């Protein structure tokens, strides 16, 4: 009897102890919703502000990355800073990588609007509309230290964590509580059509929202908390509301249709349900981050303080870096490197990567510098993937950096073109092979067909061998232009064949200074000229589209000596020695051309730019008679856009100068009104018989950016003392091009 009484009393006191002293376990569930998921940050701010305890975190898609960051020890304010930065806008495009693209990749290349790939003899269909290189690297910088500390067990994080993805083969959600954290989160946000799926053990995983957009069941089955707070940021729209939706808008709308949400009644029954007023926002609207975050904050502040009485305890959230509360956490930033390991099948990759990242034993590691190096490597269009992994040497506490590298092994075909009321319809295609013979060299072959231009271009260049500053390449162009007279309605054909060898220095990713050797044959009507030239070439360009409201610059400069053969026909010489006869040497001349553009963004709506161009040709032996054929090589003045496809020998003089000013007013990002004002002067002699010809005028245009280039309609008036004044009207669609070859005006 006494024994039984003791047992009853023991159970009674155990019950009282549990009731009084045991804390309720609270789970936080963050649903998917792309940009709408930024509302989760506002909810987290309220949780920290009111000291509401959270024991477990579950997330899907955008909820997985925000939940993963918070569960890793990032504060709500730190997460907010990440998503309000400019970098977040680059996650859905390749602009960051393109900004690191070396300028030598643009030499003798032309804009295209369609790209296809051929791999193993088969057409490669793109798996996604967004390249995931940038987001993969960002996730690595967020979670690599946590990954190392927790040893693949998400329960060891600052807050035990899970995320979900979708296995479309088995039609079941996949719950990740172990494995590589950054890869698991990447799988959870692998939105179909937007991002490529993530492969684990030969299984492809997509966005978790396809089977469980709010991982309430996963939270209950895995952690079984006493109370759950669920945040729903799904879309209210289930169709295509816009009249002209973009590809991204269509994709996100399709994803919204595929997303599986719990009924509101179910969520309210099993959890404290928070529904921020963000359903009207599109999944790609990261430009509205601040107002979306505020929507989450406002709704959470309305609901969460009311439940504080239901929770018997509270949690004081440290303001300092909470990641150090994780057992075994070590910061990699600023840590000394022990070893750098490159895993690649290509010996060139090892040397090139080491030359770019500039990290070796004894150096300090910094994430920002490392990311810039990886962006530079990706910009070369040589690497398909670069997967970094960091561990710590237990003996000396230094870090071991390992890079798993996979090179691109495919052939690329690109297509471009333009239509113009003066130049007609013109199409071109390019065969592109990168990393030919595994030597990091490039081969481009262009073919042109159209009213204005016919011919082909071959580029073979090796600017990235071992990623040194030395660049070299051979560029060959065989073009025939059909050009209309500027003042009269008739046309002629201009033949332009050239081969150029460059050898110089890649000063930085935006500048090249090079020695060049060029041979060129020109023919216009019945006049022809063959020459050999050599000199120096400087080129500087930022990889920024000139039609956008941004600040950018472009500069080019050539100076060289030319040895013409104006007397022999091209069929009369058998070797280059035949060029160096006495008459040819007497015709030697120097030539220089320059182009300078400075474009500035004044405000959100206004942009202006200044341009200056010049050209001059001087004979070395000025007292000797000159061949009239050399006039074919005189600098050519072509003021303003729509005169590019028109030609008149009156515009060719030994000395030319042009300057202009353009102002644009942007109605939106893709539509602007533009006014160009430009003037050119031309003359043959400076001292005796000095006479200037001029042409100047103003042009107004409406321009709209399309997937196929710009659509522009314009009219202008140009006054001159050459012939009659010009009143022009023009319609253009596509990427504008003029003389396409390298050193085109040389």
Active site residues per annotation: 61, 207
Q: At residue 145, what are phi and psi to the nearest 5 degrees?
A: -65, -40
β-strands 411-420, 114-119 pairing = antiparallel
For 234-288, strand residue ranges (E) read 272-274
- How far is residue 66's CA from residue 78's CA, in Å, rounded to a whole number? 11
Secondary structure letter of residue 164 according to DSSP = E
- How far is residue 668's CA from residue 497's CA, in Å, rounded to a whole number? 42
3-state SS, residue 464: coil
Could you tell me which of 304, 717, 648 has the C-alpha nearest to residue 488? 648
Which residues, 6 or more positions from 13, have their beta carbon under 8 angstroms from its beta carbon? none
**386 DSSP β-pair partners:** 405
- How far is residue 444's CA from residue 378's CA, in Å, rounded to a whole number? 19
Could you tell me which of 522, 512, 419 has the C-alpha nearest to residue 470? 512
Which residues, 6 or more positions from 453, have their beta carbon under 8 angstroms from its beta carbon? 426, 428, 479, 480, 481, 482, 740
Rounded (10°) CA dihedral 304, 306, 307, 309: 140
- Can you spell out the DSSP letters for 387-398? EEEEEE-TTT--
For residue 205, give Cα distances in angstroms to 24, 126, 198.
Answer: 34, 17, 5
3-state SS, residue 291: helix
- How far is residue 552's CA from residue 607's CA, in Å, rounded to a whole number? 11
């Amino acid at each position: 009897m006494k024994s039984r009484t003791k047992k009853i009393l023991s159970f009674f006191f155990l019950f009282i102890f549990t009731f009084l002293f045991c804390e309720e376990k609270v789970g936080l569930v963050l649903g998917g919703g792309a940009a709408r998921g930024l509302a989760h940050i506002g909810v987290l701010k309220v949780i920290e502000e009111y000291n509401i305890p959270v024991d477990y975190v579950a997330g899907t898609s955008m909820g997985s990355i925000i939940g993963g960051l918070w569960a890793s020890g990032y504060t709500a304010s730190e997460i907010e800073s990440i998503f309000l930065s400019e970098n977040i806008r680059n996650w859905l495009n390749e602009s960051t990588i393109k900004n690191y693209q070396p300028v030598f990749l643009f030499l003798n290349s032309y804009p295209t609007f369609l790209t296809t790939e051929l791999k193993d003899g088969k057409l490669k269909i793109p798996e996604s509309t967004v390249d995931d290189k940038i987001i993969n690297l960002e996730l690595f910088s967020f979670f690599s230290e946590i990954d190392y500390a927790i040893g693949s067990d998400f329960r060891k994080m600052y807050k035990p964590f899970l995320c979900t993805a979708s296995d479309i083969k088995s039609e079941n959600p996949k719950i990740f509580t172990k494995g590589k954290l950054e890869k698991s989160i990447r799988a959870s946000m692998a939105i179909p059509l937007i991002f490529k799926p993530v492969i684990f053990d030969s299984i492809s995983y997509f966005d978790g929202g396809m089977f469980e957009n709010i991982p309430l069941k996963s939270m209950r089955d895995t952690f079984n908390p006493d109370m759950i707070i669920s945040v729903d940021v799904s879309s209210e729209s289930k169709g295509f509301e816009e009249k002209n939706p973009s590809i991204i808008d269509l994709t996100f709308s399709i994803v919204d249709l595929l997303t599986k949400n719990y009924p509101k009644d179910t969520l309210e029954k099993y959890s404290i349900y928070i529904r921020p007023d963000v359903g009207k926002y599109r999944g790609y609207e990261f430009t509205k981050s601040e107002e979306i975050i505020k929507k989450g904050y406002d709704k959470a502040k309305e609901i969460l303080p009311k439940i504080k009485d239901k929770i018997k305890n509270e949690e004081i959230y440290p303001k300092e870096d909470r990641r150090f509360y994780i057992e075994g956490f070590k910061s990699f930033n600023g840590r000394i490197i022990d070893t750098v390991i490159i895993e690649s099948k290509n010996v060139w990759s090892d040397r090139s990567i080491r030359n770019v990242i500039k990290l070796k034993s004894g150096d300090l590691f910094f994430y920002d510098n490392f990311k810039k190096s990886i962006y530079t490597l990706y910009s070369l269009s040589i690497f398909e993937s670069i997967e970094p992994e960091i561990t710590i040497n237990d003996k000396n506490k230094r870090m071991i950096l390992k890079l798993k590298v996979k090179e691109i092994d495919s052939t690329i075909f690109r297509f471009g073109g333009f239509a113009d009321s003066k130049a007609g319809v013109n199409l071109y295609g390019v065969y592109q092979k990168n990393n030919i013979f595994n030597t990091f060299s490039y081969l481009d072959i262009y073919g042109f067909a159209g009213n204005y231009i016919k011919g082909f271009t071959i580029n073979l260049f090796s600017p990235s061998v071992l990623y040194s500053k030395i660049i070299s390449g051979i560029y060959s162009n065989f073009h025939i232009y059909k050009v209309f007279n500027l003042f009269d309605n008739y046309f002629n054909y201009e033949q332009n064949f050239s081969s150029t060898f460059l050898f110089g220095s890649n000063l930085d990713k935006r500048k090249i200074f090079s020695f060049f050797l060029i041979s060129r044959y020109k023919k216009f009507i019945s006049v022809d000229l063959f020459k050999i030239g050599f000199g120096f070439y400087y080129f500087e360009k930022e990889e920024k589209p000139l039609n956008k409201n941004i600040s950018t610059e472009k500069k080019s400069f050539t100076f060289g000596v030319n040895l013409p053969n104006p007397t022999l026909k091209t069929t009369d010489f058998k070797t280059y020695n035949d060029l160096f006869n006495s008459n040819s040497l007497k015709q030697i001349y120097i030539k220089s051309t320059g182009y300078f553009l400075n474009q500035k963004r004044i405000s959100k709506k206004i942009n202006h730019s200044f341009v200056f161009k010049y050209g001059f040709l001087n004979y070395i032996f000025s007292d000797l008679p000159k061949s009239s054929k050399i006039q074919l090589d005189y600098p050519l003045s072509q003021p303003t856009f729509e005169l590019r496809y028109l030609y008149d020998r009156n515009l060719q003089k030994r000395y030319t100068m042009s300057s202009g000013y353009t102002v644009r007013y942007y109605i939106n990002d893709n539509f602007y009104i533009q006014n160009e004002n430009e003037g050119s002067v031309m003359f043959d002699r400076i001292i005796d018989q000095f006479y200037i010809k001029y042409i100047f005028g103003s042009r107004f245009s409406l321009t709209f950016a399309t997937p196929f280039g710009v659509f522009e309609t314009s009219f202008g008036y140009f006054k001159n003392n050459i012939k009659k004044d010009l009143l022009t009207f023009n319609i253009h669609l596509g990427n504008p091009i003029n003389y396409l070859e390298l050193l085109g005006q040389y």
